[in-house]
Structure 1
Amino acid sequence: MTRTHTARILHTSDWQLGMKRKFLSPEAQARFTEDRIKGVGTILRLAEERGCDAIVVAGDVFDSNLLDPSVQRRSVQQLATATVPVYLLPGNHDPLDAASVYHQPDIAELKHVTVLRDNHPHLVPGREDSPPLEIIGAPLRTKVEDHDVVGAAVDTLDAVADGRIRVLVGHGATSSFGDGDALDLIDLHRVEQACAERVVDYVALGDTHSAMPLTENNAAWYSGSHEVTDFLQPGGGGENNSGNVLIVDVTVDEDSPRDPARVTVEQVPVGTWRFHALAADMDSLADVEAFVARVNAMPDHSTTVVKYALTGTLSLEANAALEKAEEQIAPGFAALYRRERLMNLHVMADEEELATGPMSRGYVGMAVKELQAEAQGQGEQAEHARGAMRLLYRLMADVEA
C-alpha cells in the first residue's frame, strides 16, 4: 500500500489593509476599511475550522508602509487572534525596506505570526507526527525589484529527498502575465520545473487580485484579494474572481519522495463587497425601467459599488424617470455613479411632449420652443439648453403631481 501524507495550507494575498478608494464617501470608506480588516479574522477562523497547517499571505498585506495608526493597530489585533501559524510576505505595496511596517514591534512580536524576511526555510510547528512542512519566502525589498526574486529563492534550494513538503511564497507578475520587458517578472517555466523536480511543491503567489491557476497541475496559483479592490467589467473582464481564499492540499508519496507532489486547490469565498461596472443602451422608458430593475436586483447594496455608462437617446419623460430613480436608489449603495467619460446619453423632447402637457402651455411652452431650437446645435450653449429642458421638465412634472 502506498504511504502518503498531506499538508494543508490556506493561501491568500493582497489584503492591502488600509486601501482607499476615491469613489467612496467617508462613511462608506470607513466601512470598506473595517471590513477588509475584519476579513482577516474570517480567514483565521476558516483556517482553524478546515484544519490547515499554516496560512501564507503572499504579499501586499498592507496597502502601504505608511499606515494610519488605527489601521495598523486594528490589523495587529486581528492577527493576534491567530491559532494557526501565519506567514506574511512583504510585497510591492509594503516592501521590506528601511521604513517597512514589518519592523514595527507590534507586528514583529506577534505570537503565531512570522514575517518572511529572507529565503530561509521555516519549519511549521505542530507537525511532530508528520514529515516537515517548510515555508520559504521570496520577499520584496523595494517596490520594483531588478530581478526575479522567486527564481532567486528557488536557486537557494536543493531537491527534496525525503517526505517533507515545501511551499514557496512569492509576489509579482509572471512571465506569462505581465510586461514582458520587466526585470522582476517571475519565470513561470522555472517555477514549473522546480515543482516537477520537487525543489518546491507549491508556489503561492500574490499580485493580481483575481484567483487563477498558473499551471495545469495546480502547482502555482494566484490567490487573489480576500476583498474586492477593482471593478468587474461589462464583458466579464477586470477583477472577475476576487473575494476568495484558497485551501490547498499538497500530498507526497513517502515511498517515492522524488515524484512530484499532487496538489488540489479549493476556492472558498470570504469577501463581502462587490464592485460592478455596467453599460446599457437607453432609447425608451422601458429601457430605463429595465436598467433600474437590474440595479435594484443586486444584493447587499450597502457593500456594493456600481458605476455605469449609458448610451442612446431618451425623451424628457424617460430621462426624468431615470434621474428620479438615480436619486432614490443611490443612497442605499456604497457608491452608485455615472462614468461621465463614457456616457453618451442624449435627451430630446419628442413631438408629443412639446404639443401636449405642461411643457406646451403659456410662457413655459414659449421657453421650451426656444430651448428646443438651441438644443439642436453643438457646443456648450446647446448643452446648457438641453440641461435647462431636462430641469424644466422635472420641475413641471413635480408641479403637475
Structure 2
Amino acid sequence: MISFLHTADWQIGRVFSQFEPDDAAALFEVRFAAVERLASIATDRGVDAILVAGDVFDAQTVADKTIRRLFNAMQGFAGAWVLIPGNHDSALAESVWSRARRLEAIPANVVVCLEPKPLVIAGKFTLLPAPLTQRHTYADLTEWFGTAATDDGLPRIGLAHGCVQGILPGDIDSTNPIAAGRAQGAGLTYLALGDWHGTKRVDDRTWYAGTPESDRFKANDSGQALLVSIESLALAPVVVAVPTGKFRWRQVEQQMAVDSDVDGLVQTLDSAGGDDVLQVRLSGTCSIAGHRKLTAALDAARARARAVVWDSAALGLEPTEEDIQALHADGFVGEALQELRAAQDGATPELARDAILALARILDAHGPRSGAGT
C-alpha cells in the first residue's frame, strides 16, 4: 500500500496587517508550527511522502531567516517532501526558490519541482508536477499529464496549483486553469491540488487539501491535511482529513435591533477562548446601555481570545428614554442628544455616533445634573 500526506497553501511569511502587532506575530509564528505538526503526523502514520501543492511561501520577498526556519520546521519527517511553486512563490528566474538554493537551506530529503517532468518518489509512485513559473497563466499546465509516458507500472500522482474549471465559486475561474476531469483523462491515481484554501473534493481522485492553518474568515473547511492511501490502481484512493490547525477563525455578522440581540452577542463574545480569531461585524441600532454592554464584553474577549477584529461602522445608536433618564440629559443637553441621534442619518453617521458616546461619557463623569440652568 502507498500512503502520503497531501497539503498546500502554507503561505509561510504571511503578514497579517489587519491585526494588532502581537496578534499578527502569533498568526505568523503558528504557520511554522503547522509544518511541524505535519511532520509529526507523517512520522506517526508512517507515510511514504508529503506532497505540498504550491504556495509554500506567501511571497518572493520573505526574509532569508524565514526561508531557513521553514526548512528547519520540516526536520521532524525524514521521508520525502515534494514541493511545487504556486502563484505566490512561482519559479521565476530569480525567486524565493533560487534564494533557498543559494542559502543551501533545502535538505536532501526535500524535492522542489521547478520543471514539469516525471519523478519517481520513494520507489512507490511516479509524480507528475505542474509548477507555476509565473504568478498567472492562462494555459492549463496539467495538460502534459495526459501525454507523459510512465512505463514503470507505478501509480501516477499529479501535483498542481490552480483552479479546476467550473467548480469554484464566483470569479475564481480566471487564471491558472486546470481542466475538470484531468485525473481520469490523464490516467492519474490521484491529483493533489492547491490554491483553494479549504478542503474540497472535486471527484474520487481529485482533491484540494486546503491550508493546514486557517488564515481567513471563510467557513471553507480549512486547517487540515489529507491522508491519502492507495491500495490498488483499480480502486479509488482512500482520503481522510486530518486536523492540523491551531486557531479557529470565526466570523460573526449581527443585525442589531432589540436587547436580545445585544445579549446574544455578549454570550458569543463570552465564549471566546485563547484559540479563537474572531471577526465581528455589526449593523442596525442599539441603545447606549446596550453599547456599554457590548464594549465591556469586547474588552473582556480581547483579553481572552487570540484576536478580535471589530467592525461597528454600520451600527447606529438609538438612545432610549431609559438612557436619557439615566444620563439626566434634560434641557439643551437633551436636545443636543436628540440632534446627534438624528445626525446619524446624515453624511457622517460614525462621527455623530461617536459624539453621542462622548457626551454620554461626560455626563456619566459629572453625575446627575440638569442641563436647563447651565
Q: SS of the counterpart of 1:227?
A: coil
**Distance in 2, Cα, partners of 1:229 & 1:334:** 13
Which 5+ residue runs of structure 1 have no aligned equivalent?
1-5, 233-238, 254-259
**Distance in 2, Cα, partners of 1:56 & 1:384:** 52
Bigger Cα displacement from structure 2, 109-118 vs 365-374: 365-374
Which 5+ residue runs of structure 2 have no aligned equivalent?
369-374
Equivalent position of 2:359 in the other structure:
392
Decide which of 204, 209, 216 is 1:223's aligned counterpart.
Answer: 209
Q: SS of the counterpart of 2:267?
A: helix
Deviation (angstroms), 1:63: 0.7
Any idea what the Cα deviations from partners look like across 1:16-74, whole Å, max 9, x if unmatched? 10011221222122211111012111101101111101110000111112112221121
For residues 33-182 of structure 1, the aligned pairs below 5 Å read 33-103=28-98, 104-105=100-101, 106=103, 109-125=106-122, 132-158=124-150, 162=153, 164-177=154-167, 182=174
Amino acid at match of 1:231: F
**Distance in 2, Cα, partners of 1:398 & 1:155:** 78
Contact 2:164 2:173 (C-alpha < 8 Å) held by counterparts: no
Amino acid at match of 1:240: N
For residues 2-401 of structure 1, the aligned pairs below 5 Å read 6-103=1-98, 104-105=100-101, 106=103, 109-125=106-122, 132-158=124-150, 162=153, 164-177=154-167, 182=174, 184-194=176-186, 199-215=187-203, 218-232=204-218, 239-252=219-232, 260-300=234-274, 303-340=275-312, 343-354=313-324, 356-360=325-329, 365-377=331-343, 378-380=345-347, 384-397=351-364
Q: SS of the counterpart of 1:357?
A: helix
Deviation (angstroms), 1:380: 4.8
**Distance in 1, Cα, partners of 2:296 & 2:278:** 17
Amino acid at match of 1:122: L
**Distance in 1, Cα, partners of 2:349 & 2:91:** 56
TM-score (norm 2): 0.88
Contact 2:273 2:306 (C-alpha < 8 Å) held by counterparts: no
Amino acid at match of 1:308: V
Contact 2:68 2:105 (C-alpha < 8 Å) held by counterparts: no
Aligned residues with identical type, % of pairs: 27
Deviation (angstroms), 1:108: 6.3
Contact 1:76 1:107 (C-alpha < 8 Å) held by counterparts: no
Q: SS of the counterpart of 1:149?
A: coil
State how many pairs are aligned.
Answer: 363
Go from structure 1 to structure 2 and tell me whether the alpha carbon gap of 1:386 and 1:213 turns closer, same or farther (over 3 Å shift). Answer: closer
**Distance in 1, Cα, partners of 2:272 & 2:212:** 20
Amino acid at match of 1:373: E
Any idea what the Cα deviations from partners look like across 1:219-266, whole Å, max 9, x if unmatched? 01000000112113xxxxxx421100000011226xxxxxx3431100
**Distance in 2, Cα, partners of 1:31 & 1:383:** 31
Amino acid at match of 1:173: C
**Distance in 1, Cα, partners of 2:198 & 2:288:** 42
Q: SS of the counterpart of 2:231?
A: strand
Equivalent position of 1:257 in the other structure:
none
Amino acid at match of 2:357: R
Amino acid at match of 2:227: I
Go from structure 1 to structure 2 and tell me whether the alpha carbon gap of 1:382 and 1:76 turns closer, same or farther (over 3 Å shift). Answer: closer
**Distance in 2, Cα, partners of 1:247 & 1:112:** 20
Deviation (angstroms), 1:330: 2.1
Contact 2:117 2:128 (C-alpha < 8 Å) held by counterparts: yes
